Structure 1
Amino acid sequence: MPRLTPTQELDSLLELIVTAADGVGIDTLAQQWGTPIHRRTLQRRLALLVAQQRIEMLGDRRTARYRRTTSAAIRAQEPEVDWRIAPPPDDLPVSAPGAEVRAYVTQPRHLRRPVAYRPSFLERYQPNHTAYLPLDLREQLHTMGRSPAAQTPAGTFARDMLNRLLIDLSWASSQLEGNTYSRLDTERLIAFGQAAEGKDALETQMILNHKQAIEYLVLSPDNARVQTDTVIALHAFLSDGLMADPTAVGRVRRRPVEIGGSVYLPLALPQRLEELLGIVVQMAAEIADPFEQAFFLMVHLPYLQPFEDVNKRVSRLAANIPFIRHNLCPLSFIDVPQPAYGHAMLGVYELNRVELLCDVFVWAYERSCQQYVAIQQTLVPPDIFRLRHRQALAEVVAAIVRQGEAASEQAVKSKIPESVPPDEHAHFTALVLAEFAALHAGNAVRFGIRPLEFSTWVGR
């Protein structure tokens, strides 16, 4: 399990314990720590040191004293090594159990035993009794992901972060599928509809599909629910224009599929797939903790493979539903290496082991929090109206400039496209005029206006 406690803190705590030959109690350690530290936090640090066999606990929990173990004292003369397993290139540091999984799934395919779908993997899980994520880890994730919008209506934080989330999640999730769009290319495509030169049309479609699916969850909180209709809707958005069989979009698959590079053979019977999809979603809906709920969806939706393709993409967006509903930091998968995620999913498919995926999940969530929680205070809330009509806005501004017209209310109204409802014309007109009030040679490019076109318009 990825460790959220910095190595330096554990080393400092160990130094305090070493100085007491007969052991030291938690109250004394708290006093010696130097800065205020929550008792439960200190208990977790001590428990981790005990688990690493660097210290031992004497007595029961209430009267416990801690001292360095004999074996640790012997090792004190040796260089200390971080408990995490060093990652190969382009991968993440993982726990010892995660490393076991990685070692198995990175073997050549012919050395791994073919396996079929195991219903027992799902049957062993009991919502709110079984937990893939330990309680102390979930507590730390809650602390990391808590947002200033915690007491506001569901979906508030995600809407506040929508512009950033649309770009980051669309780019990162697509990149995990091999998409070669850069983050800047993704931003241009989402903000201005400008497809990157030299890219396959399917890559562009994949990015735009993510954008639509994210907007579906965020702009209407009622859509952000863990239910079968939502999962199918996400598949419809994410697979639009990408399926060999157009009728497979938003539909449980009706034919067998294989997973490239894996020896896992998913279930094939359509009736059984529909039944199990309903069970998986219902079980997920019963899970109270949003982090456990998100992780469960990331495990069992791809494992079932209910659709002909795009299953992992569906699971990544579905995993964000609990975070949207609880106003927690979203999970964008930003900077997650493709090999790390791919190996983690192979561990679920072929071994029914979740430790490596848990390592990736925790690392990815911590990275997402660094991206969102730290900058939330400095962000201006997005203008949802402007976001919804950005294409029409660009068209009208560009048309007025190229036709050499004055930026007047009459000129704007004469060019409002049909995509803007009549009852929103006044708001849209005011928005366009506000854009013209701030328009200059440096920002006109946002609307596809070339410098020469802008200077010609200004000189009229």
Structure 2
Amino acid sequence: MTHTDTSLVQEKLLARINEKMEELNFMRPIPPGSLARLHEEMRLIHTYHSNAIEGNTLTLQETKLVLEEGLTIGGKSLREHLEASNNAKAFDRMEDLAKKKRSIDHVIIQEIHEIVTRGILEDAGKYRTRNVRVAGAVKTPPDWSKIVKLMDELIKMIAESKENPIETASFLHHRFVEIHPFSDGNGRVARLLTNLYLMTRNYPPVVLKKEDRGKYYKSLRAADAGNLRPFANFIARAVDENLTLYLSISGGNDELLPLRELAIETPYSQEYLSLRARQGLLDAVKIGKTWHSSKRAIEQYLSEHGKKDV
């Protein structure tokens, strides 16, 4: 990576993330009970969304039943069940590696892939030994004979990066899927490696949502064309959103509440606040189909935009 003085991430968004990181660090250590609940929630929603992006048809509730109850869902394939249990196990392993502050290397990359694709691919945990084409992709992945060299370069660049961790994680994610080192499962592994990199630097894990699949692939295509900025901001928004979720465990002004409840204390309707949330002007997260925010975020919005809106 080439160091530049100009951040790829929008200045205001990065400032908000840095402010939230300070708040989160002030909260640490997070009580064990709260931490365990966060782990279970992140494990479930990461597994569901990461698989759904790739076409797995298990719903969030079905994924929860597979992971927590070990149930078999009628009408769903064995592969879909394996994808759910494997991805959850890989998430656990990723968290364990993050706690140990392990640097990303060939062994870790191949280990995570082996867990993700165990019982699904014959070459689980092994770099591909043939050329492939990716459906819908403009660029063809590099020749298989170049993979080890390209991965060597990527691992070295990540280890030596002096950029903001979010930018480095974005570069890692994009370059990894661009190299496409495995015959299948590259997207799932990329999302886990992105989290491993961020978590070793004390960020919470991020979840890239199925609903944002279009934006995800569009920003990756922009990175293919040499513009990493849209993808870096896409990852940054995911970081920002999960920081909000983590901070909400402290309750008080950071507790997440539906916008319909928060709107009562403002001059605005729920619909208007939802619009501002979609525009990124109101710090909010979507849980299911409902926008949530906090009293702190509402107060900040009113101080910055209130007079202009009324």
TM over 0.5: yes
Does structure 1 retain, via aligned residues, the 8 Å contact 2:51–2:83?
yes
Please give the secondary structure, in 2, of the residue aligned with 1:212: helix
1:354, distance to aligned residue in structure 2 (A): 2.1
1:320 to 195, 199, 202: 195
Does structure 2 retain, via aligned residues, the 8 Å contact 1:147–1:329?
no
Q: Does 2:142 correspond to 1:267?
A: yes
1:235 to 101, 107, 113: 113
Please name the residue that 1:361 is paired with.
235
Please name the residue that 1:250 is paired with.
125
Q: Distance in 1 between matches of 2:101 and 2:119?
A: 22
Does structure 1 retain, via aligned residues, the 8 Å contact 2:9–2:233?
no
What is the aligned residue count? 248
Please name the residue that 1:142 is paired with.
18
Q: How does 1:11-90 map to 2 (within 5 A)?
A: none
Please name the residue that 2:9 is paired with.
133
Q: How does 1:342-361 map to 2 (within 5 A)?
A: 342-349=217-224, 351-361=225-235
Please name the residue that 1:305 is paired with.
180
Does structure 2 retain, via aligned residues, the 8 Å contact 1:332–1:368?
yes
Q: Report the CA distance shift for 1:187/1:260 in structure 2 as closer, same or farther (over 3 A).
A: same
Please name the residue that 2:274 is paired with.
none
Q: Distance in 1 between matches of 2:185 and 2:26?
A: 32
1:135, distance to aligned residue in structure 2 (A): 6.0
Structure 1: gaps (5+ residues): 1-124, 379-460
Which digits, 9 at most, give the CA deviation of each residue in 1:362-390, with x for residues without a partner?
33333333433323659xxxxxxxxxxxx
Q: Distance in 2 between matches of 1:203 and 1:169?
A: 15
Which digits, 9 at most, give the CA deviation of each residue in 1:133-184, with x for residues without a partner?
366643332323456356868xx99766211111011011111111111111
Please give the secondary structure, in 1, of the residue aligned with 2:100: helix
Q: Distance in 1 between matches of 2:100 and 2:173?
A: 21
Q: Report the CA distance shift for 1:145/1:303 in structure 2 as closer, same or farther (over 3 A).
A: farther
Q: Distance in 2 between matches of 1:219 and 1:196?
A: 29
One-letter identity of the residue aligned with 1:170: T
Please name the residue that 2:80 is paired with.
203
Please name the residue that 2:94 is paired with.
217
Q: Distance in 2 between matches of 1:326 and 1:175?
A: 27
Q: Report the CA distance shift for 1:141/1:237 in structure 2 as closer, same or farther (over 3 A).
A: same
Does structure 1 retain, via aligned residues, the 8 Å contact 2:216–2:234?
yes
Q: Distance in 1 between matches of 2:250 and 2:143?
A: 45
Please give the secondary structure, in 1, of the residue aligned with 2:129: coil
Decide which structure has the larger Cα Rg and report it: 1
Please name the residue that 1:116 is paired with.
none
Please name the residue that 1:439 is paired with.
none
Does structure 1 retain, via aligned residues, the 8 Å contact 2:56–2:80?
yes
Does structure 1 retain, via aligned residues, the 8 Å contact 2:13–2:237?
no
Q: Distance in 2 between matches of 1:140 and 1:345?
A: 24
Report the TM-score when normalising by structure 1: 0.49
Q: Distance in 2 between matches of 1:158 and 1:325?
A: 16
One-letter identity of the residue aligned with 2:9: L
Which digits, 9 at most, give the CA deviation of each residue in 1:186-220, with x for residues without a partner?
11111111132211211111111111111102135
Does structure 2 retain, via aligned residues, the 8 Å contact 1:258–1:265?
yes
More helix by share: 2
Q: Does 2:217 correspond to 1:339?
A: no
Report the TM-score when normalising by structure 2: 0.70
Please give the secondary structure, in 2, of the residue aligned with 1:189: helix
Q: How does 1:417-428 map to 2 (within 5 A)?
A: none
Please name the residue that 1:176 is paired with.
53
Q: Distance in 1 between matches of 2:147 and 2:128?
A: 8
Please give the secondary structure, in 1, of the residue aligned with 2:184: coil
Please name the residue that 1:194 is paired with.
71
Does structure 1 retain, via aligned residues, the 8 Å contact 2:91–2:192?
yes
Structure 2: gaps (5+ residues): 253-310
Which digits, 9 at most, give the CA deviation of each residue in 1:20-79, with x for residues without a partner?
xxxxxxxxxxxxxxxxxxxxxxxxxxxxxxxxxxxxxxxxxxxxxxxxxxxxxxxxxxxx
Does structure 2 retain, via aligned residues, the 8 Å contact 1:324–1:330?
yes
Q: Distance in 2 between matches of 1:366 and 1:336?
A: 17
Share of identical aligned residues, percent? 19
Which digits, 9 at most, give the CA deviation of each residue in 1:275-306, with x for residues without a partner?
11011122112224321221121111111111
Does structure 2 retain, via aligned residues, the 8 Å contact 1:290–1:326?
yes
Does structure 1 retain, via aligned residues, the 8 Å contact 2:14–2:236?
no
Does structure 2 retain, via aligned residues, the 8 Å contact 1:145–1:373?
no
Please give the secondary structure, in 2, of the residue aligned with 1:374: helix
Please give the secondary structure, in 1, of the residue aligned with 2:169: helix
One-letter identity of the residue aligned with 2:161: I
Q: Distance in 1 between matches of 2:110 and 2:206?
A: 20
Q: Distance in 2 between matches of 1:254 and 1:297?
A: 22
Q: Report the CA distance shift for 1:264/1:317 in structure 2 as closer, same or farther (over 3 A).
A: same
Please name the residue that 1:282 is paired with.
156
1:333, distance to aligned residue in structure 2 (A): 1.7
Please give the secondary structure, in 2, of the residue aligned with 1:214: helix
Q: How does 1:160-175 map to 2 (within 5 A)?
A: 161-175=38-52
Q: Does 2:208 correspond to 1:330?
A: no
